[in-house]
């Protein structure tokens, strides 16, 4: 995570952000798009293979049947719910999608069938109210807290 964070705040990250906005504008600014596309492909491949190696090392075995549609959709939900452009948002999304159901919702009968619906509803709610992910909810809570404190402070003055 630290290497990814540093890379995205460096020259490569600036080039990726410029290409995400407008590839023709990035080319006009001197970004060689083929080079950075190849870098993005290589980095995605490296990170995916590293994640696979770590998973197999942790679990000690891997079968093709382990990787089903629900797991793929859970990964997608994890990224969308936490935040598309945030490393910490992905960690928050992983906690919400994987840890909360295992800790609290496993006691509910027939929950495994409802987890598709729960993730889908959560994705829709997050996209409607927090398009950049739940990681930004902290800013809104902080703003609300400061507003409430200011209101209480103003009420004490009167």
Q: Which range, 16-30, 105-119, 138-152, has the best average confidence (pLDDT)?
A: 16-30
pLDDT at position 39 is 93
Least confident among 32-36, 76-80, 117-121, 151-155:
151-155
Percent of residues, the chain, with pLDDT higher than 70: 93
pLDDT at position 43 is 92
Angle of helix 33-59 relative to helix 11-21, nearest 10 degrees, comes to 110
What Å distances lie between residue 44 and 10, 17, 33, 49, CA to CA?
17, 16, 16, 9
Percent of residues, the chain, with pLDDT higher than 90: 18
The pLDDT tens digits of the residues spanning 64-96 come to 887 888 888 888 889 999 988 888 888 999 998
pLDDT at position 46 is 94
Concatenated DSSP letters of 82-140 = H-TT-HHHHHHHHIIIIIHIIIIITTSTTHHHHHHHHHHHHHHHHHHH-TT-GGGHHHH
Average pLDDT, the chain: 85
How confident is the model over 34-52, as a mean pLDDT? 92
Other CB atoms within 10 A of residue 89 CB: 21
Tell me the C-alpha distance between 86 and 138, whole Å. 13
Tell me the C-alpha distance between 37 and 135, whole Å. 28
Confidence grade of residue 112 (pLDDT, cut at 50, 70, 90) = low
Does residue 133 carry a pLDDT above 80? yes
Six token digits for residue 62: 């891997």
């Amino acid at each position: 995570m630290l290497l990814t964070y540093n890379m995205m705040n460096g020259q490569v990250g600036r080039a990726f952000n410029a290409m995400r906005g407008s590839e023709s504008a990035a080319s006009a600014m001197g970004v060689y798009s083929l080079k950075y596309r190849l870098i993005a492909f290589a980095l995605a491949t490296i990170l995916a293979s590293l994640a696979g190696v770590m998973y197999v090392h942790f679990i000690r075995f891997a079968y093709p049947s382990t990787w089903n549609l629900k797991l793929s959709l859970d990964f997608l939900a994890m990224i969308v719910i936490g935040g598309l452009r945030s490393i910490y948002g992905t960690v928050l999304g992983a906690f919400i999608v994987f840890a909360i159901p295992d800790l609290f919702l496993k006691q509910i009968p027939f929950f495994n069938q409802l987890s598709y619906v729960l993730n889908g509803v959560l994705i829709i709610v997050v996209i409607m109210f927090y398009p950049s992910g739940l990681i930004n909810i902290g800013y809104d809570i902080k703003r609300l807290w400061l507003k409430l404190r200011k209101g209480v402070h103003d009420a004490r003055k009167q």
